[in-house]
Structure 1
Amino acid sequence: MLLFLPLLLSLLFPPLPTLSVNQEGLYLQHFKNSLDDPDSTLSSWNVHNDTPCSWFGVKCDATSNVVHSIDLSSKNLAGPFPIGLCRLPNLTFLSLYNNSINSTLPPSLYECQHLEHLDLAQNLLTGALPSTLPDLSNLKYLDLTGNNFSGEIPDTFGRFQKLEVLSLVFNLFDSTIPPFLGNISTLKMLNLSYNPFHPGRIPPELGNLTNLEVLWLTECNLFGEIPDSLGRLKKLTDLDLAINNLNGPIPASLSELTSVVQIELYNNSLTGELPPGMSNLTRLRLLDASMNQLSGQIPDELCRLQLESLNLYENNFGGSLPESIANSPNLYELRLFRNKLTGVLPQNLGKNSPLKWLDVSSNQFSGSIPPTLCEKGQTEEILMIHNYFSGEIPASLGECHSLTRVRLGHNRLNGEVPVGFWGLPHVYLMELVENELSGPIAKTIAGAANLSLLIIAKNNFTGSIPEEIGGVESLMEFSGADNGFSGPLPQSIVRLGQLGTLDLHNNELSGELPNGIQYWTKLNELNLANNQLSGKIPDGIGNLTVLNYLDFSGNRLSGRIPVGLQNMRLNVFNLSNNRLSGELPPLFAKEIYKNSFLENPGLCGDVEWLCDCRAKVKSQGYIWLLRCIFILAGLVFVVGVVWFYLKYKNFKKANRAIDKSKWTLMSFHKLGFSEYEILDCLDEDNVIGTGASGKVYKVVLTSGEVVAVKKLWRGKVKECENDDVEKGWVQDDGFEAEVDTLGRIRHKNIVKLWCCCTARDCKLLVYEYMPNGSLGDLLHSSKGGLLDWPTRYKIALDAAEGLSYLHHDCAPAIVHRDVKSNNILLDGDFGARVADFGVAKVVDATGKGPKSMSVIAGSCGYIAPEYAYTLRVNEKSDIYSFGVVILELVTGRLPVDPEFGEKDLVKWVCTTLDQKGVDHVIDPKLDSCYKEEVCKVLNIGLLCTSPLPINRPSMRRVVKLLQEVGTEKHPQTAKKEGKLSPYYYEDTSDHGSVA
């Protein structure tokens, strides 16, 4: 038995594993232990190996077998910067790009003496840059892009000995650009773009960097003139000084940059002409000097270069376009809109070059459209609106299948549109408005599979609308007013399920309205006025729940008015000048609807402006007489009761001292009530809320309709509630802001302001009533269980569409400045409306930057970080606040909660995600089957609450992202190789809401 005892002990207690890895492996193992590695990227880092040379991301020297390179880019790692790696004596390459490395960079980083390449871009590093970095005597590449470094660039940075690349893009540096950077004579690339530098000039010392190849100073708050010394940068290939406040002329010395490939000077205040000598820039491929105040003619020598992209839009260039521009063999982009250019376009434009994008809108060009624009078959956009072009649309454009966007409106074009042009398969926008074009819409339109916007109003088009139009399933807007279309509307048109606008007024259409009109579930505007339509109004029209513009006036429609129309909320409603008959639906028997039913002789109703329906049946004799007697008696009884009630109310309110004769009513919609009916209901029993600016009452009108009335505090008598931060005292301008904003905008996701009432010492705002109250009250109360995930998603999308309308479709744009869950109201179907515009502001129409306010507006937990210390008003502040609302919907938590300590909701979500994972963030009341969709919306919320405003998407993009949730996965952004376009190009030649 004793013989088997050692064997038994060895089985029960196996020997402990021994560490066989060398010292470098131990350093790396310590680094691994300090990191959070949710994807197990470092699972191959095993201490049982002799050396770490086979570990993931680690490379060793082939001869000495020591570590010289570590590359862990985009591996979702989190934790502090690994200063212990500097103990690797031969480490020359370190890349931790696109992870979540946090904390600050330690001053002891100088111990990595052999380091040549250091890439820490797209992390979460904070604090000041260590002044010891230049002590890395072998460092050639330093990329700290996309972190949160702040303060000044250390003056020791002028001592770098071998540095070739310095990139500090997208940080928070707030000093001026230091001149000592001009001492780093080895630099080949200097990129300081997108930092909130203090206003300053371009240091002339940068002209000493004679080895520099790339200089990017985009959006660095620069002013003054471009220094002549930049002309000494003979090796420069890329110069980007865009989005600053630079003024004065473009220095002639820039024509000496013989190696330059692209020059970007857009969005400044530069003046004068393009400098002479541009023909010296033989390697120039891209010149973008748009959105300045340049003048003169476009020089012919510029057009003789091998340009690929020429953007000179929004300047004051005059004269004609040089013919030589058409001879540029590589030109694929030409944007010259909003200048004062005249003459004709070169008739061989596009013949010798792969022209993709052409925009010459808002000039004074004349003559015909060059037939060679799509000679190479690559043209995607042709924008020529607001000129004097004449003649026919070239037949060659009907064969240009690469086209996606065509805008030829507001010219003098004539003749028939080429048959193939109607059916271009990739065009999503076709605008031919206000020309002299004629002929019919060709049946080939069935091939326009991608067409969303067909805008052909104010022409001379004739013939019937073809049945084939029903096959254009993507069509969202069909505007063909003021033409000569005839015949009936095709039955197939009801198949256009995406249709939002159908405007064919002032044509010669006839016949009956097609059956199936109820399938236009997304229709917002229906205008068929002044045609020859006949038959009945379909009953199904009452099912178009989002319709708010309906005009059938000036036709031959007959029969009764569908009762279902009473269920719709229409801003424009006109059935006048038809042949309608029968009794008017009760809701419309009011004076405010009089103009909607004029010139319909067969209509009758109990209103003065129509015949009395009862008068038509007086011949029924005695029975009718008895009915009249009973009705009259009933009316006398009702009048008596009402008289007694009013007398009693007047007696009860005798002490109120409200002089109703001094009230002034301003309405923004057709009203079915007066100010006196509102005033009589402002009892404390009807109060449904009290906020920073006043009390809110629920008022039930005699018609049965319910409205909400906000009574503002008198002057400076009430401080803000606890959920408001430094909004100050409630000023009278809150009333003006609310009225000015809501009085002029119309959108299904913006709360409707019916009217306002003012007196000397009191102001009232009358809104549509939201039965489900505010999102904040519902979400954070015991009724939060009513909000399942589909409902929360719908609320987020509705609110996003409302804010997108304010930012992108209002002219000028409107910034709400107090987006929060309490200002998102919910109707009976939990549809969301953005409300409370008391601190809303119009964005500066000049586009020269946001306007600084004298005091912070907003609420705790919702205020964007940059707004709190810059007081600058722009759309990015609203986007941050909306991101907080998304996080509320996902987490079910308040934006500020004692449980968070000194954090707010945004910081709590980020910290909890890093430490515990997404399951500890999502509201436990949500069904787990929606987890994937909830996570996608959570990512959108985090994107909106990015600490850097430039990283936040526009509201139009947020709507798109929300619409794509659940249907499309978004790939992670890969590291950019080379230079992409430094700005999102938005076509400023677009007018109205056409995208």
Structure 2
Amino acid sequence: MTFLAPKPPLLILFCALSLCLSYVMAFSAGDTQILLRVKAQLDDPKGKLNDWVPGSGRSPCNWTGITCEPNNFSIVSINMSDFGVHGAFPVRLCLIRTLQSLSLSNNYINGTLSTQSLTPCSHLHVLELDLNILVGQLPDFSPEFTELRVLNLEGNNFTGDIPASFGRFPQLQVLKLSGNLFTGPFPPSLTNLSELIHLSLADNPTMKPSVLPAEIGNLTKLEWLYLSLTGLTGHIPDSIGNLVSLKNLDLSQNSLSGKIPESIGSLRSVQQIELFLNQLSGELPESIANLTSLQNLDLSQNGLTGKLSAGIAGIHFVSLHLNDNLLDGSVPEILASSPDMLNLHLFNNSFSGSLPENLGRNSALQDLDVSTNKFTGQLPQYLCSGKNLSSLVTFGNQFSGNLPQTLSECQSLSYVRLEQNELSGEVPDKFWGLPLLADLRIHNNRLNGSVSSSISAANGLVALTISGNSFSGELPPQICKLSELEELDVSGNHFSGEVPSCITELKKLQKLRMQQNMFTGEIPSHVSSWTQLTELNLSKNQLSGSIPPALGDLPVLNYLDLSDNFLTGEIPVDLAKLKLGQFNLSDNKLYGKIPAGLDYEPFASGLMGNPGLCSSNMKPVHPCQRRKSPTVVLAIILSICVLLLVGSVLWYLKIRAQAFGGKPKRLYSVTSFQRVGFSGDDVLASLTNENLIATGGSGHVYRVKLKSGQILAVKKLWGGSSKEPESEAVFRSEVETLGRIRHGNIVKLVFCCSGEDCRILAYEYIENGSLGDVLHGEKLGPLVDWPARFSVALGSAHGLAYLHHDCVPAIVHRDVKSNNILLDKEWTPRVADFGLAKTLERDVAAGHSSMSRVAGSYGYIAPEYAYTLKVTEKSDVYSFGVVLLELITGKRPNDLSFGENKDIVKWVTEAALSSPFSSDGDGEHDEGCGVDLGQIVDPRMNPSTSDFEEIGKVLSVALLCTSAFPINRPSMRRVVELLKDQKPSGQK
């Protein structure tokens, strides 16, 4: 057999291919080792890197997150976004020389970035490290970074200045630095990035005030400019008009002043302009009318004057927000011609005349708010023509005439506020029963007629206020079908007949106002289900009969006004158990001795006009006779004898039952979550009045000391599992939540007991009570010092961060407040009371991402929660921010010193906006967003100069947490890091 030698060219080609393949395989083997070392370096709790293992036939190109070039199998992209990995920045990955894109977004990458650690990454095209927990100053990027196109460092904790080297990337197209803690000014060097398409530096509230440089106009390829909340001052430069490629311009939430430049009309490609919450003045530039691509315009919360021209109104807006300015004049009819209009906000201006007649006729209008203007005439009849209108707000105007009949067919309406106008006539029957209504406020108009029985169809109503009108007739019993109702106000009308007895079935009712009507009959007596009622006003009616003693058992009632009726009988002793802020029983026909708990001067004005009452203490009321008549004495003796006889019989029957039947069968089950040396019977026997320490909306709380010496806090919920389904939900939420979590800053559930007639939760006893009781009480203990308060803040943040980020599924507490943060004997905080807690994953899977009612406590509820009812972690973040403000100021969230309609967030925010950066020029109080801390810090504290600095920084964190916009609030994980950075000097 003869073999032919291969021709020389084929031999050369064969050798070359062999060498290349060997090179690729060798190079691939080296890359594999790099990846395996990175895997060993990182903590991977989700197991996302489990398939990163060596072996024959297991090329890294098939590993999770790895993308290779298809021809030579070299690694070109590594995407580990959302892997949940922990650890330092894995710089080894940059040793893969073929790598072009590295994305580590939304992980727990920590530590700092140094210039040296980033140097091996100079060949990258894309570097994404957003949504991690990196700290320290940004690194200087070396000149070798000539290939970088995308740099994303958003959502970290970077501080200090943005280095000038960030303006030297010759090919950079996307730069995202939002959501950090920079303290320097806006860097002018960024205007050198001539290839830039996207620049995002928003949500950096700690940045030093600075002007937007005129050179920003050099970035002519820019399509997205996002500089919200970056400390910008001065005027918007005219050069902004040079950004002819711009599609999104957001300079909101800064301190920009002066007029909006006419050059803004040159942004022919712009689709969205956000300039809200600045200090802009002057008239709307007419050049805006040139922006034919503009869809969303938000110029709200400025000082703009003048009129809305027909040219601007004629743009086909999707949303137009001009609210909170000084605009006047009429609204051009052409505004109604836009086929895309969904949202129109014109509130808090001085607009006058009628609304455009065809408003809503040509588009699927969804949200209309024109409140607090000077509008007149009738409401447009086409508002709901698109069958999409969900929010209709027109209060504080002079609208007149009847409600449009078309609104009674608007099935999409959920939020309606038409109060404080001059509307008249009867409300259409179908309007009362719109199925999605959650909030209906039509008070202070001239409406008449009756409330239709069709109201039962609006079974999702949370608030119904129709006061200050001329409604008449009886209140229909169908109103009792509104099981979600929390606020009912029918005061100041001409209602007659009896108060429907079924009104006590409204278990979620918090405020009931029925004063100034002509109601007759007796006050409903079966009120035990009103466990959430805080205000009851039945004054100025024609009610008769006695005051139900059961009112005294309502756990959170603090406003009671039954004055100016025909009530008779004695004042029930039970009313003395209430903690009342407002109390008025005056001008009735009550008689007898005033109960001891109410027989004090502060209650005197609320008891006048009852000639039959007598007192042992109050001078304005005539004194009671001390001598008892023989008849009374005889009655007392007979009563005692009867009680003794009945007691003896019951004791005999009990002994007899035990003798013949043994011990009664235990009709409950016990579940232990800790090692316990006691039984359920041991605890049940101790639930006596002597051990009662608190009463809340869900039940009684007892302090139980066991034979072993162990002390428990035992909560006995109202009713049994078959009697109180809502209380049962609280019980299950506490058990499901606390039964599976362990954390040093979360209260421990020891055991639970459940039966037909009782449900009991036993916790570790926390010696020092709640933060709210201590902070707002007379004895502060260690909390007289700032470091102790800071320790409480940080510990509580750790507990909430654990719920949000370490529990699977994540848990939202939904009732974060100072009274639900307990302090143990070492003053360590423990987050408690999980009766409203929700697990996000389970609720979303079940389609329950929004709640049917507002959960939480007034003063702590995030503003968007009351409208959207959506459950998110950002709701807890807002509530925690309120707790931080409590720790700083020592005031309650709704302290009366703030004034009407103002809470602690608004009070502190106004102080931040109005105060100079220093109170006395010595720099002592000049931290915390420019607030004079001397005016808001709790006077019971005596902070040092360094304390003032740290308080100011924590105040900045609190203001971040209580931002009106959920997207601007940090996660609890970030809050912990922010607080750690502000840790008082000398504290561990």
Equivalent residue, structure 2, for 1:929: none
What are the residue-to-residue correspondences of 1:243-392 with 2, within 5 Å? Answer: 243-392=253-402
For residue 370 of structure 1, report the CA deviation from its aligned partner: 0.5
Q: d(CA) in 2 for partners of 1:870 and 1:589?
A: 44
Change (3 A) 1:206 1:486: same
Equivalent residue, structure 1, for 2:921: none
Three-state SS of the structure 1 residue aligned to 2:216 is helix
Q: TM (normalized to structure 1)?
A: 0.67
Equivalent residue, structure 2, for 1:540: 550
Q: Is the 8 A contact 1:806 1:814 kept in 2?
A: no
For residue 280 of structure 1, report the CA deviation from its aligned partner: 1.5
User: 1:947 corresponds to which letter in structure 2?
Assistant: L
For residue 594 of structure 1, report the CA deviation from its aligned partner: 3.1
Q: Is the 8 A contact 1:526 1:550 kept in 2?
A: yes
Q: Identity of paired residues, percent?
A: 37
Per-residue deviation, residues 350-370 of structure 1 (Å, max 9, x unmatched): 000111111111110000000
Q: d(CA) in 1 for partners of 2:53 and 2:882?
A: 55
User: 1:853 corresponds to which letter in structure 2?
Assistant: D
Equivalent residue, structure 2, for 1:208: 218
Equivalent residue, structure 2, for 1:947: 978
For residue 173 of structure 1, report the CA deviation from its aligned partner: 2.2
Matched, 1:81 2:162: no
What are the residue-to-residue correspondences of 1:668-817 with 2, within 5 Å? Answer: 723=788, 775-776=822-823, 778=825, 780=827, 790=833, 801=857, 804=860
2:590 to 580, 584, 593: 580
Q: How many residues align?
A: 729
Equivalent residue, structure 2, for 1:222: 232
For residue 535 of structure 1, report the CA deviation from its aligned partner: 1.6
What are the residue-to-residue correspondences of 1:758-907 with 2, within 5 Å? Answer: 775-776=822-823, 778=825, 780=827, 790=833, 801=857, 804=860, 819=886, 842-845=907-910, 848=913, 850-853=929-932, 868=949, 871=952, 874=955, 876-877=957-958
Matched, 1:448 2:458: yes
For residue 880 of structure 1, report the CA deviation from its aligned partner: 7.7
Q: Is the 8 A contact 1:289 1:312 kept in 2?
A: yes
Three-state SS of the structure 2 residue aligned to 1:181 is helix
Three-state SS of the structure 2 residue aligned to 1:326 is helix
Matched, 1:164 2:220: no
Q: Is the 8 A contact 1:577 1:600 kept in 2?
A: yes
Change (3 A) 1:303 1:490: same
Q: Is the 8 A contact 1:334 1:358 kept in 2?
A: yes
Q: TM (normalized to structure 2)?
A: 0.67
Three-state SS of the structure 2 residue aligned to 1:542 is helix
Three-state SS of the structure 1 residue aligned to 2:543 is strand
For residue 160 of structure 1, report the CA deviation from its aligned partner: 1.3
Between stretches 205-214 and 122-131, larger displacement belongs to 122-131
What are the residue-to-residue correspondences of 1:658-673 with 2, within 5 Å? Answer: none
Q: d(CA) in 2 for partners of 1:521 and 1:147?
A: 44
Q: d(CA) in 2 for partners of 1:271 and 1:821?
A: 35
Three-state SS of the structure 2 residue aligned to 1:366 is strand
Q: d(CA) in 1 for partners of 2:113 and 2:237?
A: 34
Q: Is the 8 A contact 2:786 2:947 kept in 1?
A: no
2:104 to 88, 96, 103: 96
For residue 440 of structure 1, report the CA deviation from its aligned partner: 0.8
2:514 to 500, 504, 507: 504
Q: d(CA) in 1 for partners of 2:947 and 2:68?
A: 45
Per-residue deviation, residues 434-462 of structure 1 (Å, max 9, x unmatched): 11010111111101121111111111111
For residue 310 of structure 1, report the CA deviation from its aligned partner: 0.5
Change (3 A) 1:205 1:722: closer
User: 1:91 corresponds to which letter in structure 2?
Assistant: L
Change (3 A) 1:290 1:823: closer
Q: Is the 8 A contact 2:957 2:978 kept in 1?
A: no
Unaligned runs of 5+ in 2: 1-25, 636-775, 792-814, 838-853, 866-879, 899-903, 915-928, 963-969, 982-988
Q: d(CA) in 2 for partners of 1:298 and 1:508?
A: 47
Three-state SS of the structure 2 residue aligned to 1:512 is coil
Q: d(CA) in 2 for partners of 1:266 and 1:403?
A: 27
Equivalent residue, structure 2, for 1:514: 524
For residue 32 of structure 1, report the CA deviation from its aligned partner: 0.7
Per-residue deviation, residues 405-451 of structure 1 (Å, max 9, x unmatched): 11111110000111111112222111111110101111111011211
Change (3 A) 1:620 1:338: closer
User: 2:135 corresponds to which letter in structure 1?
Assistant: T
Q: Is the 8 A contact 1:140 1:163 kept in 2?
A: yes
Q: d(CA) in 2 for partners of 1:282 and 1:349?
A: 20
What are the residue-to-residue correspondences of 1:906-945 with 2, within 5 Å? Answer: 942=973, 944-945=975-976
Q: Is the 8 A contact 2:789 2:887 kept in 1?
A: no
User: 1:89 corresponds to which letter in structure 2?
Assistant: R
Between stretches 347-356 and 106-115, larger displacement belongs to 106-115
For residue 586 of structure 1, report the CA deviation from its aligned partner: 2.9
Q: d(CA) in 2 for partners of 1:239 and 1:536?
A: 66
1:23 to 23, 30, 41: 30
Between stretches 147-156 and 330-339, larger displacement belongs to 147-156
Q: Is the 8 A contact 2:444 2:468 kept in 1?
A: yes
Q: d(CA) in 1 for partners of 2:50 and 2:630?
A: 97
Equivalent residue, structure 2, for 1:122: 131
Per-residue deviation, residues 645-679 of structure 1 (Å, max 9, x unmatched): xxxxxxxxxxxxxxxxxxxxxxxxxxxxxxxxxxx
Q: d(CA) in 2 for partners of 1:184 and 1:225?
A: 22
Q: d(CA) in 2 for partners of 1:152 and 1:394?
A: 58
Equivalent residue, structure 2, for 1:552: 562
For residue 941 of structure 1, report the CA deviation from its aligned partner: 5.8
Q: d(CA) in 1 for partners of 2:974 and 2:113?
A: 25
Q: d(CA) in 2 for partners of 1:721 and 1:307?
A: 51
Q: d(CA) in 2 for partners of 1:459 and 1:559?
A: 33
Change (3 A) 1:521 1:854: closer
2:581 to 571, 581, 587: 571
For residue 221 of structure 1, report the CA deviation from its aligned partner: 0.5
For residue 620 of structure 1, report the CA deviation from its aligned partner: 7.9
Per-residue deviation, residues 451-496 of structure 1 (Å, max 9, x unmatched): 1111111111111111001110110011111110110011221110
Change (3 A) 1:207 1:620: closer
Q: d(CA) in 2 for partners of 1:721 and 1:241?
A: 36
Q: d(CA) in 1 for partners of 2:174 and 2:278?
A: 26
Change (3 A) 1:119 1:444: same
Per-residue deviation, residues 526-573 of structure 1 (Å, max 9, x unmatched): 100010111221221111121111111111112222121121121221
Change (3 A) 1:521 1:943: farther
Q: d(CA) in 2 for partners of 1:581 and 1:540?
A: 19
Equivalent residue, structure 1, for 2:501: 491
For residue 200 of structure 1, report the CA deviation from its aligned partner: 0.8
Q: d(CA) in 1 for partners of 2:62 and 2:862?
A: 56
Equivalent residue, structure 2, for 1:32: 39
Change (3 A) 1:725 1:204: same
Equivalent residue, structure 2, for 1:437: 447
For residue 844 of structure 1, report the CA deviation from its aligned partner: 5.0
Equivalent residue, structure 1, for 2:747: none
Q: d(CA) in 1 for partners of 2:980 and 2:232?
A: 19
1:197 to 171, 186, 207: 207
Q: Is the 8 A contact 2:429 2:454 kept in 1?
A: yes
Q: d(CA) in 2 for partners of 1:153 and 1:821?
A: 31
For residue 128 of structure 1, report the CA deviation from its aligned partner: 2.8
Q: d(CA) in 2 for partners of 1:122 and 1:622?
A: 78
Q: Is the 8 A contact 1:551 1:572 kept in 2?
A: yes
Matched, 1:58 2:66: yes
Change (3 A) 1:261 1:129: same
For residue 611 of structure 1, report the CA deviation from its aligned partner: 5.7
Q: Is the 8 A contact 2:881 2:958 kept in 1?
A: no
